[in-house]
Amino acid sequence: MGRYGRNMNMLSKEENEKLKDFRVCVLGCGGLGGYAIEMLGRLGIGYITAVDKDVFEETNLNRQILSDMNSLGKSKALMAVERMKLVNPEVFVNAIVDEFNFENGKDIIKGHDIVIDALDNIEGKLTLQDICEELGIPFVHGAIAGWYGQVTTVFPGDKTLKFLYKKEMRKGIEKELGNPSFTPALVASIQVSEALKVLIGRGEVLRRKVLFINTFEQEYEIIVL
């Protein structure tokens, strides 16, 4: 219990105990995903699936928490396993070194209680929504671009991403703005807080609401759908 002592009493003892029984799938182990895995693991989520086909490269070092000088060239998903062995060995990390797509998506996601959308492309995010819809599994969407970010929690039937991305929209403003160190950490933090609330069934989530984050002018806007 010592490890989770500071989670008391924002979580009840029973809630804390139950976290080890949950399975959370994190799609993408880069900017958002790295931080999400770190926070889910420290919370004590018992089973985390970490999905990413890529290896770390130098351009990841400005923001991706799982990357460092020693991990360059190594699998992002496998580094999540290594990291969690150091941080919280009570957590099992199932690494999947593969691209998430329509063909394998169902097999990857099924059996999880919730999914964290840490994907770096719109097409993948929309595929995730379709698959979660089919499987009846909620997911927490997060996206970043430069100073900006957005978060929403999507339950089966909501199809909120159809509102966020118009048809044939394939790239966002991150392609021109890049991503710094702080927006992934901020957006991932909010995503994990959302996932936790869904899992414990307590608190208010951003369901059919989209939080828009603007750290350049420190404006936080919630759109109610």
Partner 1 sequence: MIKVKLFATFREGRQKEVNFDYFEGITGRFIINKLNIKEKDVAIFLVNGLDGKLDDPLSDGDVISLFPPVGGG
The answer to whether 163 contacts partner 1 (rule: CB under 8 A) is: yes
Q: How far is the CB of 150 from partner 1 (least distance, A)?
A: 5
If the CB atoms of residues 19 and 151 are measured against partner 1, the closer one turns out to be 151
Per-residue binder mask for partner 1 (CB under 8 A), 111-150, x = binder: ------xxxxxx--x----------------xxxxxxxxx
The answer to whether 4 contacts partner 1 (rule: CB under 8 A) is: no
d(CA 132, CA 156): 7
The answer to whether 97 contacts partner 1 (rule: CB under 8 A) is: no
Of 175, 157, 163, 178, the C-alpha closest to 212 is 163
The answer to whether 218 contacts partner 1 (rule: CB under 8 A) is: no
Q: How far is the CB of 49 from partner 1 (least distance, A)?
A: 16
Buried b (16+ CB within 10 A) or exposed e, 113-144: bbbbbbbbebebbbbbbebbbeeebbbbbbbb
d(CA 123, CA 215): 26
Residue type, 59: T
If the CB atoms of residues 17 and 219 are measured against partner 1, the closer one turns out to be 219
If the CB atoms of residues 145 and 200 are measured against partner 1, the closer one turns out to be 145
Work out the angle at residue 140's Cα, subtended by the Cα atoms of residues 208 and 50, and round it to the nearest 5 degrees.
165
If the CB atoms of residues 14 and 168 are measured against partner 1, the closer one turns out to be 168
Among 3, 85, 110, 171, binds partner 1 (CB under 8 A): 171
Burial class (CB in 10 A: 0-12, 13-18, 19+), 159: middle
In this chain, which stretch among 16-24, 83-91, 106-114, 175-183 interacts with partner 1, using CB under 8 A? 175-183
Of 150, 153, 135, the C-alpha closest to 212 is 150
- DSSP secondary structure letters along 166-185: -TT----THHHH---SHHHH
The answer to whether 177 contacts partner 1 (rule: CB under 8 A) is: yes
Whether residue 129 contacts residue 106, with contact meaning beta carbons closer than 8 Å, is answered with no
Among 166, 201, 204, 220, binds partner 1 (CB under 8 A): 166
- Using CB under 8 A, list all residues that contact partner 1: 28, 30-33, 117-122, 125, 142-150, 163-166, 168-169, 171-174, 176-177, 179, 184, 212, 214, 217, 221, 223-225
